[in-house]
């Protein structure tokens, strides 16, 4: 195999590899939201107290399930207890960190800008953008 043919083969394999990586990558990009955008796009805005958080393995990834006691509803409707699942967390000795995902602590009071899509579940709009920490009570 000549040097020119070898170089052509390596470049072809390199481009195939890049194509496979691009197809396999699943990244999330969040658009920067102003406070007015958060209020407008949220289906509910609540003041809530974090009761507990637990991280679990789900479909090969670590997710953190957090339970909130709803103290006040400023927009929309919300049940008295709210459960939110967000990617990332710590299970045993394995930790997963996802940029832009808020971390909640028991006793913490927050305003949550929530969004409910067509499927089941409630989501924090814009992740950390949709979270305003008020006070940490211990």
Q: Give me the residues paired with residue 132 across strands.
A: 111
Q: Which domains does the chain have, with CATH numbers?
A: 35-136 (2.40.50.120)
Residue 101 in this model has a pLDDT that exceeds 60: yes
Q: What is the pLDDT of residue 45?
A: 93
| pTM of the predicted model as reported, rounded to 2 decimal places | 0.71
Strands 44-58, 123-124: pairing kind: unpaired
Q: Which tens digits make up the pLDDT trace of 44-90?
A: 999 999 999 999 999 999 999 999 999 999 998 888 899 999 999 99
Q: Above pLDDT 70, what percent of the chain?
A: 85
Coil vs helix vs strand at 11? helix
Q: Above pLDDT 90, what percent of the chain?
A: 46
Q: Does residue 33 come out as left (phi exceeding 0), alpha (psi in the -120 to 50 range) or beta?
A: beta
Better-predicted residue by pLDDT, 74 or 5: 74
What's the mean pLDDT in 2-8?
A: 80
């Amino acid at each position: 195999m000549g040097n020119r043919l070898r170089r052509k083969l390596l470049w072809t394999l390199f481009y195939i590899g890049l194509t496979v990586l691009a197809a396999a990558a699943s990244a999330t990009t969040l658009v920067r939201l102003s406070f007015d955008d958060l209020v407008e796009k949220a289906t509910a805005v609540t003041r809530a107290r974090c009761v507990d958080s637990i991280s679990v393995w789900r479909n090969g990834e670590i997710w953190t399930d957090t339970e909130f006691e709803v103290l006040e509803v400023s927009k929309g409707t919300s049940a008295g207890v709210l459960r939110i699942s967000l990617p990332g967390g710590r299970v045993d000795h394995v930790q997963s960190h996802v940029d832009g995902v808020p971390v909640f602590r028991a006793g913490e009071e927050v305003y949550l800008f929530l969004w409910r899509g067509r499927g089941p579940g409630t989501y924090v709009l814009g992740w950390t953008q949709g979270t305003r920490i008020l006070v940490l009570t211990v």
